[in-house]
Amino acid sequence: MRDLLPANRPALVLAPMQDVTDLAFMRVIAGHGAPDWFVTEYFRVHAHSRLESKIVRSICENETGRPVFAQMIGRDVDELVRTARQLEALPIAGIDLNLGCPAPVVCKKNAGGGLLREPNQIDLILGRLRDAVKGRFTVKTRIGFDKPGEFDGLLGVFTRHGLDGLSIHGRTVRERYQTPVHTECVRMAVETMSCPVIANGNVVDVDTGVAYLAQTHAAGLMIGRGAIRNPWIFRQLAQTMEGSTPITPSLRDLLSYIGELYQEIARERPKFNELAHVQSMKRTLAYISHGLEGPFEHDIRRVNTPEDFFAVCHEHLDQDGLLPACPPQDSRLFCGFDALLTSREFAL
């Protein structure tokens, strides 16, 4: 992964978010300032799993010009090896293993973040995958399941397997998205690992991103929730790192982004139901609305038709005011993505 790092600044990566970072979302994000690479939604891996066509399309039909890593989630070693070999037949930049998803359904199956309770199983999986994967092999992890003190032991496992990159969400699984990140754990990984370490968690604007890098010395930032609310964040961070003044999007720019996202997601759905699509977009806008003045969030939660959806958006956003750089640091900020997660179904 070191060869993918920009020469003049830290790397900027779009975080994998299940049922969010599909081909449509990648296209929209790239149009506002593409990250240096993408990581797909995870491929669920089990005895009867097949590569999900929707996620394959985000690799094979991706015209953004940016590399794409394929992410897997699962605990069965043989099936993970089988799936990794199938994925390497696709035009991917590498294979990533998910050790961080905090969704309860996933953790109950001891996959994703749930695997952090089993360092010996992780050791076995990483060893087999490192032997099987011919190209880049990376891991996305949290710092432990229950407590940050678990990270020292996990780091010992990670160092044994010649990883090409390690992305760290600086919270435990139990902390989900509801606490500050533990920058000291990310810094410890930077000082220990021989591969690039990418810092993830609670980067919502330029200031939080710059501070995270200063505190950890990471090789880059991986951004998820912040990019849902502000698709310009990668361009803003790159401009700041390169010494120029970052762009300042307006509320009208946000309105245009919402319309673009609405249309792109609709275009990618083979069985499109407009009323269901409105309900899905409402969940996304409940997060996008954080930090906006007035009753926008209240009003958008109550729409049911496309006409009402866009009427509310135009009423509140068709103006020249600037998009607030950072949403307020309250419980809604930390819980917003939890709401997106719990509204989805996760199966392994």
pLDDT in tens, 117-153: 999 999 999 999 999 999 999 999 999 999 999 999 9
Evaluate whether residue 341 is within a structural domain: no
> Does 65 share its domain with 8?
yes
Please tell me the predicted confidence (pLDDT) of residue 329: 57
Please tell me the predicted confidence (pLDDT) of residue 30: 98
> By three-state DSSP, how is residue 17 classified?
coil
> By three-state DSSP, how is residue 169 classified?
strand
CA distance 160 to 195: 12
Residue 124 is encoded by which pair of tokens? 């076995």
> Does 97 share its domain with 221?
yes
> By three-state DSSP, how is residue 91 classified?
coil
Evaluate whether residue 338 is within a structural domain: no
β-strand partners of 69:
39, 94
Evaluate whether residue 336 is within a structural domain: no
The domain boundary, picked from 187, 214, 241, lies at 241
Evaluate whether residue 339 is within a structural domain: no
In this structure, are residues 45 and 72 in contact, taking their beta carbons and an 8 Å threshold?
A: yes
> Does 221 share its domain with 279?
no
Q: List the one residue out of 185, 20, 17, 174 whose CA is nearest residue 102.
A: 174
> Does 212 share its domain with 117?
yes
- What's the CA angle centered on 320, arms 318 and 325, to 5 degrees? 105
> Does 62 share its domain with 80?
yes
Residues whose CB falls within 8 Å of the CB of residue 183, separated by 6 or more in sequence, listed in order: 170, 199, 212, 215, 216
In this structure, are residues 35 and 13 in contact, taking their beta carbons and an 8 Å threshold?
A: yes
Total count of residues recorded for the chain: 348
The domain boundary, picked from 207, 222, 241, lies at 241
Residue 134 is encoded by which pair of tokens? 């011919």
> By three-state DSSP, how is residue 62 classified?
coil
CATH of residue 165's domain is 3.20.20.70
In this structure, are residues 16 and 48 in contact, taking their beta carbons and an 8 Å threshold?
A: no
Residue 322 is encoded by which pair of tokens? 């600037």
Residue 162 is encoded by which pair of tokens? 């010649």
> Does 183 share its domain with 59?
yes
> Does 223 share its domain with 260?
no
Give the torsion sign (CA, 86, 57, 289, 302): negative
Q: Give me the residues of the chain with pLDDT under 70, please.
A: 328-348
Alpha helices in 269-324, H assignment, sequence order: 274-288, 296-300, 306-317
> Does 169 share its domain with 310?
no
pLDDT in tens, 7-60: 999 999 999 999 899 999 999 999 999 999 999 999 999 999 999 999 999 999
- Crossing angle of helices 251-268 and 306-317, in 10° steps, is 160
Query: Within 10 A of 94 (CB to CB), how many other CB atoms are there?
Result: 22
CA distance 202 to 226: 7
Structural domain range at position 259: 251-322
> Does 122 share its domain with 217?
yes
> Does 268 share its domain with 200?
no
CA distance 59 to 92: 7
In this structure, are residues 222 and 35 in contact, taking their beta carbons and an 8 Å threshold?
A: no
> Does 297 share its domain with 206?
no
Evaluate whether residue 138 is within a structural domain: yes
335 CB-contact burial (10 Å; exposed 0-12 / middle 13-18 / buried 19+): middle
DSSP 13: E
Evaluate whether residue 99 is within a structural domain: yes
Query: Within 10 A of 331 (CB to CB), how many other CB atoms are there?
Result: 9
Residue 228 is encoded by which pair of tokens? 């849902």
Evaluate whether residue 346 is within a structural domain: no
CA distance 137 to 130: 7
The domain tally of the chain equals: 2
> Does 17 share its domain with 145?
yes
Residue 242 is encoded by which pair of tokens? 């390169």
Evaluate whether residue 66 is within a structural domain: yes
Query: Within 10 A of 108 (CB to CB), how many other CB atoms are there?
Result: 11
CA distance 159 to 143: 14
The domain boundary, picked from 220, 241, 262, lies at 241
